[in-house]
Structure 1
Amino acid sequence: MTGKELEHQLIKRYLADECTSEEILEVHKWIAANENEEALKSLIDDLLNHKNGGIEITPNRDKELLWQSIEQDINRKHFAVNKPAPENQLKTVNPFFTFSKITASIALLLGVFTVLYFYNNEEKIEQPIAKVFSEISTISGQKKNITLPDGTRVILNSSSSISFEKEFLKSNERRITLKGEAYFDVTKNKTKPFIVSTNSVETKVLGTSFNVKLDSNKVYIALVEGRVEMKNQDNIIELTPEEMGIADMLDSSLYKTYFDIQEITGWKDGKLVLKDANYNEVMQRLQEWYGVEFEQKGKTPTGTINTIYDNVSLSEVLLGLSFTYNFDYTINKDQVNIILK
């Protein structure tokens, strides 16, 4: 076998740990031969220039066994290169010189490959496939109707946002991250569950309608239709229609109760529902609903109110409340000044 053939076949097999014992000995002989020095340099150049023909070489070679094998072969004088010699003249090889040359050459080959191996792996690490997300948000006083790539309808309340992968339909699950409040009408897909992630709480469904709200340190899941699974780090519960799951993020508790559908989900239809709300709660809801700020003078009124404002303007709401709470008011763009009597 010529040096060129060995370069393209045997050396690659050798570095890939695919050689037989006879082939390993042949490689050792080839490396030891003086006339193959230029071919060895050429092989190393090819390796450094990634001309390895796409051969995958095993990085975890047992170097200790390799050195033992080389030493045993030297001791048995199998590294002598048999060349034609003048008649009656015996050709010999200096064992010490041969061993030094072989170990240096093989160490160089292994060193070159080790560098290439880690370089190739480093390239893969430096070029990860980044996930690209879409985010939709609302400002104070704004609501949005959204249709997700799978057909799921989302109504996003004010000062809220949802985010999801752009490759939403290619995943094994349909995962949405929510901040604030949203109403979901989920398209059914038994093979790809729909998951809403809100802080440390997850709501998992196949196809259903429900409301999700993050308020201070609690997450509220109000189920209108279908069935959902709600879980946090420690617990898991299953909700049926008209049940609301509540997750407390301070003590990791998770429990459920019943709810008034109109009170919880009326907002998506333009209805501001106030139930047993005191003055401060009313003003807070109005700020969020209309995207305004209140400046108040005077003593805070007592008592609670129960009412529904169905798609009415801020001025209409304040006109009615001014008689209930006995105050005067002025509206200047997004600023409302109230003087309580």
Structure 2
Amino acid sequence: METHESIKRMFQLYVGKHFTRMGRAIFGKWLRAQQDQVEKEEMLQQCWEASEGEISADTWNEWNRLQEQLGISFKRNGRLGVRWMRYAAVIALFLVTVGGTYWTAVQYTLHQPTVMSEMFVPYGETRELVLPDNSRVWVNAGSTLVYPSDFSQMDSRTVYLTGEASFHVSKNKKKPFIVKTAGLDVQALGTVFTVKSYAGEDFTEATLEEGSVKVSLKEGDNRSYILEPSDQLVYSHADGGVRMNRVDIALYKMARKGYLIFENVSFEQMILTLEKKYGVTFQYNATRYGNDLYNVKFAPDETIENVMEILHQLIGIQYIINEKNVIVK
């Protein structure tokens, strides 16, 4: 079951996203690897059934180019069956349509087999990871980080994030460290920073603690920004707007130690964070709490019961906790 979920998250991370040529080459290598072929086939079947694209002669031409350039060949008993030709078409669709003419213009080749590693952190947990270059990453609840198991054959140290993670990057001027999300690319220049990009949320954030980073937008006019310590860039997925904030970096350092700190946040934002932190689901009337902003801090050892009792004392919330469900009256 865990293998199936891991394969599913890999597809969700890459399919339909505007990643770099190298990123797509990495995905192609992972896709054609022998391990977990049954699970990959199941996901291709799901992609096929969900696809709204049209299969045409151009699709097949792109598929042939893709096979030639990356060596992707899904064969069963030495033959490529009708079902797999169907899957091949959907691979071409979701890789080619979002990448334009990428497959005909690709210039990057991975000369050594590349193994992609994944860290998925479920709700209610946080984890620390040391990458192959000795960079340290604190991955927050409900997040997925995908990264190559070896950076030595690559021109950059590129990782892919959905969710939230803090990075303490080892310096290497010859190989830039880049965090890819659906809306932003964040390139570190030997630094400590946090990126927050949860699927389904309206904003992606990049916050710098030490050093400097270059944040590049993927949509519109491809704007880029250089951040200084205490700068926070907030990107709106709805309208492509960018807002710059000055933040208290001490709060981010405390967050890595397990503290939950809310400053001038909406009730909805607070609830989303609590759901990730404790692995629970809230039921509440959004209109009742829609206009207020909240300021509160919770210690690392606080339970959800402690948190709700504190909120009851501070703002008068009435609630019921039923296993993994929290009902706010």
Q: Give TM class, smaller chain.
A: 0.5 to 0.7
Tell me by how many angstroms 1:159 deviates: 0.6
Correspondence for 2:315: 325
Structure 1 residue runs of 5 or longer lacking an equivalent are: 1-120
Deviations along 1:179-229, one digit per CA (max 9) or x if unpaired, are 010000001111111011111421112311000011524321100000111
- Aligned equivalents of 1:211, 1:191: Cα separation in 2: 22
CA distance in 1, matches of 2:318, 2:68: 70
Identity across matched positions, percent: 26
Partner of 2:283, secondary structure, is strand
- 1:161 match: 144
- What is the match of residue 316 of structure 1? 306
Q: Secondary structure at the match of 1:168?
A: coil
Q: 1:133 and 2:116 equivalent? A: yes
- In 1, Cα distance between the equivalents of 2:164 and 2:276? 12
> Aligned partners of 1:189, 1:126: CA distance in 2, in Å?
32
Q: 1:184 aligns with which of 151, 158, 167?
A: 167
**TM-score where L is the length of structure 1:** 0.57
Report deviation, 1:126. Answer: 6.0
The yes-or-no answer on 1:269 pairing with 2:254 is no
Structure 2 counterpart SS, 1:336: strand
Please report how far the alpha carbon of residue 254 of structure 1 lies from its aligned counterpart in structure 2 after TM superposition: 4.4
Deviation at 1:269, TM superposition (A): 1.6
Which residue matches 1:78?
none
Give matches, 1:193-212, under 5 Å.
Answer: 193-212=176-195
Aligned-partner Cα distance in 2 for 1:308–1:123: 53
**Contact preservation (8 Å) 1:235, 1:254:** no
Distance 1:191 1:305 in 2: 44
Any conservation in 2 of the 1:237–1:254 contact (CA below 8 Å)?
no
CA shift, 1:291, in A, is: 1.1
Quote the offset at 1:161 in angstroms.
0.8
Residue aligning to 1:243? 231
User: Does structure 2 conserve the Cα–Cα contact (< 8 Å) formed by 1:149 and 1:169?
Assistant: no
**1:62-81 Cα distance to aligned partner (Å, 9 max, x none):** xxxxxxxxxxxxxxxxxxxx
Q: Per the alignment, do residues 253 and 336 of structure 1 end up closer, same or farther by CA in structure 2, a change over 3 Å counting?
A: closer
* 2:8 paired residue number: none
Please state if 1:223 is matched with 2:208: yes
Determine helix, strand or coil for the equivalent of 1:172.
coil
Alpha-carbon distance in 1 for matches of 2:148, 2:179: 13
Where relative contact order (Cα < 8 A, 6+ residues apart) is larger, the structure is 2
Residue matched to 2:45: none
1:306 aligns with 295
1:170 alignment partner, SS class: coil
**Equivalent position amino acid for 2:228 in 1:** T
* Greater mean alpha carbon deviation, residues 169-178 or residues 316-325: 316-325
Q: Is the contact between residue 204 and residue 230 of structure 1 (CA under 8 Å) also seen in structure 2? A: yes
Instruction: Mark the CA change 1:206 to 1:124 in structure 2 (over 3 Å): closer, same or farther.
Output: closer
Give the root-mean-square deviation of aligned CA atoms: 2.9
* 1:50-199 aligned within 5 A: 125=71, 131-199=114-182
Distance 1:171 1:122, change over 3 A: closer
CA radius of gyration, larger in? 1
Distance 2:312 2:255 in 1: 23
CA displacement, residues 98-153 of structure 1 (integer Å, 9 cap, x when unaligned): xxxxxxxxxxxxxxxxxxxxxxx979956797643111111112111111111111
